[in-house]
Chains A and B, each alone.
Chain A
Amino acid sequence: MIIPVRCFTCGKVLASIFEEYKKRVYIDGEEAGKVLDELGVKRYCCRRTIISHPVFIKDGEVKELIDEAGEYE
């Protein structure tokens, strides 16, 4: 699916930082914890929402499940 707009527990807006997170962690290979610290994601509720969001890598791009779902007619 697509990244949730807010953290399930506390309500912090997370969707807007996810694109940068995806690029830095899955493509540039930076450490997830460090990237989250730099993006200002402090609480563990928000951190798990981002870390546990499923993505896969296809043709050198980080994709979410919605990218695949959209392709079905």
Chain B
Amino acid sequence: MKIKFLELKENYAKVLFEDTSPYFVNSIRRTMIADIPKLAIEKVTIYDNTSALFDEIIAHRLGLIPLPTHLDLLNFRKECSCKGNGCPSCTIHYTLSKEGECTVYSGDLRPEDSMWTVVDKNIPIVKLQKNQRLILEAEAELGTGNQHAKWQVVCGIGYKYYPVIEIDKEKCNLCSACVDACPRNILEIKRNKITVRNIEECILCKSCSDSCKKGAINVRGDGSRIIMQYETDGSLTAEKALKEALKILQKKYDELKKCFK
């Protein structure tokens, strides 16, 4: 199997898997959604809240804020040597104290150490009017996507088969019906031939083959080559998320192997 990044940004990646099968890529997808650990606020102690929102809503909004996750420095709270009491290697503390009139942003959350500063500082948590106050303390810990969506690292993850467009030159009469039908505008007529501009843009909708009266164009997906794309919420980079998922999957296969011995 080969892995190639077709596009790689901080929080977005488009990956091409070659010599593989849909079953395997799907297991990678599911691992990425459910099993990558990530830091999120789990416990909130509210000392004063006179804002328009209930304590519970504020706690929920805090939980959804993506926090930077340095996986090599953190343990799951349950598996930590402190036995779940909360120590610096499994729990990160944040404090927040603000008085109106203002908007409370995620950037106002103050961590113990600057390395845990919130990635996205512009998420509004609540708006305070004059004389309204919000004072709280929050504890963040590791979790995985199968516990709660706030611990889900990737969003909008999906894959498709690599498109293959076959054109029968003998049947084609260059009526350009397929060129007009394509919603992605990837077909064009060049030198009396239908050519494909950027095949990875194809969404396998088959509008072109449906529009062709002669049956000269055919679209199919190649299951051995798969394009996957996903975004991360900023807690891990796109590249790190994929590597982490592959590591976890490897561990699971190793465990399965042991069961047979």
Q: Which residues of A contact B (CB under 8 A)?
A: 2-3, 5-7, 10-13, 15-19, 42-43, 64, 66-67, 69-72
Chain B residues closer than 8 Å to A17, beta-carbon distance: 122
Chain B residues closer than 8 Å to A7, beta-carbon distance: 155
| 11 new A-B contacts at CB < 8 Å, known A11-B155, A15-B124, A18-B124 | A7-B155, A12-B155, A13-B66, A13-B233, A13-B234, A16-B123, A17-B122, A42-B156, A66-B53, A66-B126, A70-B51
Structural contact, A67 and B127, CB atoms closer than 8 A: yes
Chain B residues closer than 8 Å to A6, beta-carbon distance: 64, 155, 233
10 cross-chain CB contacts under 8 A: A10-B155, A12-B156, A12-B233, A15-B122, A16-B123, A66-B53, A66-B126, A66-B127, A70-B52, A70-B127
Structural contact, B61 and A5, CB atoms closer than 8 A: yes
Chain B residues closer than 8 Å to A66, beta-carbon distance: 52-53, 126-127
Interface residues of B in 116-132 (CB under 8 A from A): 120-124, 126-129, 132
Interface residues of B in 30-73 (CB under 8 A from A): 51-53, 61, 64-66
| CA of A27 to CA of B76, assembled, Å | 46
| CA of A43 to CA of B149, assembled, Å | 18
| CA of A61 to CA of B123, assembled, Å | 19
Report, as a range, how many residues of chain B touch the other chain: 20 to 34
Structural contact, B122 and A19, CB atoms closer than 8 A: yes
Q: How far is the CB of A18 from chain B (nearest CB, A)?
A: 8
Structural contact, B129 and A5, CB atoms closer than 8 A: no
Interface residue? B237 (CB, 8 A)? no
Interface residue? B152 (CB, 8 A)? yes
Structural contact, B129 and A71, CB atoms closer than 8 A: yes
Known: A11-B155, A70-B129, A71-B129. A16 touches B120 (CB 8 A): yes
| CA of A29 to CA of B233, assembled, Å | 29
| CA of A5 to CA of B121, assembled, Å | 12
Q: How far is the CB of A67 from chain B (nearest CB, A)?
A: 6
Structural contact, B123 and A13, CB atoms closer than 8 A: yes
Structural contact, A16 and B122, CB atoms closer than 8 A: yes
Interface residue? B141 (CB, 8 A)? no
Interface residue? B108 (CB, 8 A)? no
Chain A residues closer than 8 Å to B53, beta-carbon distance: 2, 66
Contact of B123 among A5, A64, A69 (CB under 8 A): A5
Chain A residues closer than 8 Å to B155, beta-carbon distance: 6-7, 10-12
Chain A residues closer than 8 Å to B124, beta-carbon distance: 2-3, 15, 18-19
| CA of A70 to CA of B64, assembled, Å | 22
Q: How far is the CB of B7 from chain A (nearest CB, A)?
A: 13
Interface residues of B in 150-170 (CB under 8 A from A): 152, 155-156
Contact of A10 among B51, B65, B156 (CB under 8 A): B156
